[in-house]
Amino acid sequence: MNGIVFRLIAKELHVHRWMMLATAAAAALSALACAFGGVAFNVGAIAWITAVIAGGVMLAIYGVANERKEQSLQFLLALPVSIPQYVLAKTFGLVLSFALPWLAATLSAVLLVQASPAVPDGMLPFVVVLSGYLLANFAIVLCAALHARSEGAMTAAIILTNMSVSVFMFVVGALPGIRNHLDAAAPVWNGTVFNVLLVEALVLVLAIALPQLTVARRRDFL
């Protein structure tokens, strides 16, 4: 990476700093609400997931879709940077913009499980795999945003990825290696958990790498 690429990445972090802060704060407060148990736990858990997902969607919309729609990417033509370099900077800049509040959200959820007597420690592996999925899910949304040529395609991608979160929770939460240990007094890190994390890592890498192989080669990226 040359200097202009690093400056473009820094620009993404600067532009989206308030959105990052709002996402992290909303997720942390939602996790705190879960500590009160009962209905508060259910409401807080839904709010936590919603905050992370919404933060990612907003980054994809304002970081890519709106720039393309408003033709604000035209300034690229005046920069000493190639289209592949710009796509690289855009991808990593937005991934970092999401990863920082995502990390704060994940840490707040982990601390909740470990510190709250109302939440069994056996929930920790599920929280970790769910957090991993939300990170991979954002990478897919970003990949779709970089590839989308229309608002319809972008909207469809957002709807499908948002729906997939519920499917993931039901399917993965029902795996015996996870389901049987949710109420355990201590977290159980077994092959099921590590296999799910491995798949999430592979999806994350593929979703980040794909735009570098496809979108970056377009002559009409703008």
Looking at residue 7, its pLDDT comes to 86
What's the confidence (pLDDT) of residue 219?
65
Which parts of the chain sit beneath pLDDT 50? none
Q: Which pLDDT does position 80 carry in this prediction?
A: 74
Token look-up 């990476």 returns 1
Instruction: Name the residue type at position 146.
Output: L
Q: CA–CA separation, 151 vs 157, rounded Å?
A: 10
CA 146/CA 85 separation, integer angstroms: 14
Q: Write the pLDDT tens digit of every residue in 78-122.
A: 667 777 888 888 899 999 999 999 999 999 999 988 888 878 899
Instruction: Quote the distance between the C-alpha of residue 58 and its chain's center.
Output: 11
Tokens 């007094």 appear where?
Answer: 185
Query: Mean pLDDT in the chain?
Result: 88
Q: How far apart are CA 143 and CA 145, in angstroms?
A: 5
Instruction: Let me know if 68 is exposed, middle or buried by CB neighbors in 10 A (0-12, 13-18, 19+).
Output: middle
Which pLDDT score is estimated for 73? Answer: 60
What contacts 147, CB < 8 A, 6 or more positions away?
Answer: 153, 210, 211, 214, 215
CA distances from 133 to 9, 124, 150 (A): 24, 14, 26
| CB-CB contact of 191 with 177 (8 Å) | yes
Helix axes 151-173 and 39-60, enclosed angle (nearest 10): 150
Q: In the prediction, which pLDDT does 125 show?
A: 95
What pLDDT shows up at residue 69? 64
